[in-house]
Amino acid sequence: QVQLQESGPGLVKPSETLSLTCTVSGGSVSSGSYYWSWIRQPPGKGLEWIGYIYYSGSTNYNPSLKSRVTISVDTSKNQFSLKLSSVTAADTAVYYCAQESKYGSGFNYWGQGTLVTVSS
């Protein structure tokens, strides 16, 4: 059973860069069978897909966030990461990482999420 665990600062200042890491256990980010995604949910709002990375490094981002998002993968640590630049209060959310089959069938496994608050 694959398990994903998000980690990173819970508080980020406006205009700075939000950085989160997802550690994968029970599976490998080097597997060519999966995409590795980030998703977020602002308080009281719906979920928003941020983007994904493939083990090769290829990425696909939500156009609404594309100019500020970078997702990377570290196969040596079995982790993948999210960076979101120039954050504002609107980026306050619970951030989730998830695994998706490369056949594009949606998310098989999710992390439990981590709350990131943007505030000075």
Partner 1 sequence: ETTLTQSPAFMSATPGDKVNISCKASQDIDDDMNWYQQKPGEAAIFIIQEATTLVPGIPPRFSGSGYGTDFTLTINNIESEDAAYYFCLQHDNFPYSFGQGTKLEIK
54 lies in the binding site for partner 1 (CB under 8 A): no
Q: What distance in Å separates the CA atoms of residue 47 and residue 56, rounded to the nearest whole number?
A: 26
Q: What distance in Å separates the CA atoms of residue 6 and residue 45, rounded to the nearest whole number?
A: 20
Q: Which one, of 100, 85, 112, 78, lies nearest residue 6 by Cα?
A: 112
Neighbours of 97 (CB within 10 A): 31
Among 9, 11, 33, 47, binds partner 1 (CB under 8 A): 47
Q: What distance in Å separates the CA atoms of residue 50 and residue 64, rounded to the nearest whole number?
A: 9
Q: Which one, of 56, 51, 55, lies nearest residue 69 by Cα?
A: 51
- Min dist. Cβ of residue 10 to partner 1 (A): 15
* Span 65-104, contacts to partner 1 by CB under 8 A: 96, 98, 100, 104
> Which one of 22-30, 56-64, 68-76, 81-89 is the stretch in contact with partner 1 (CB under 8 A)?
56-64
- Min dist. Cβ of residue 111 to partner 1 (A): 6
What's the residue count for the chain? 120
- Min dist. Cβ of residue 64 to partner 1 (A): 7
Among 15, 25, 33, 64, binds partner 1 (CB under 8 A): 64
8 lies in the binding site for partner 1 (CB under 8 A): no
* Site residues (vs partner 1, CB under 8 A): 4, 45-49, 60, 62-64, 96, 98, 100, 104-113
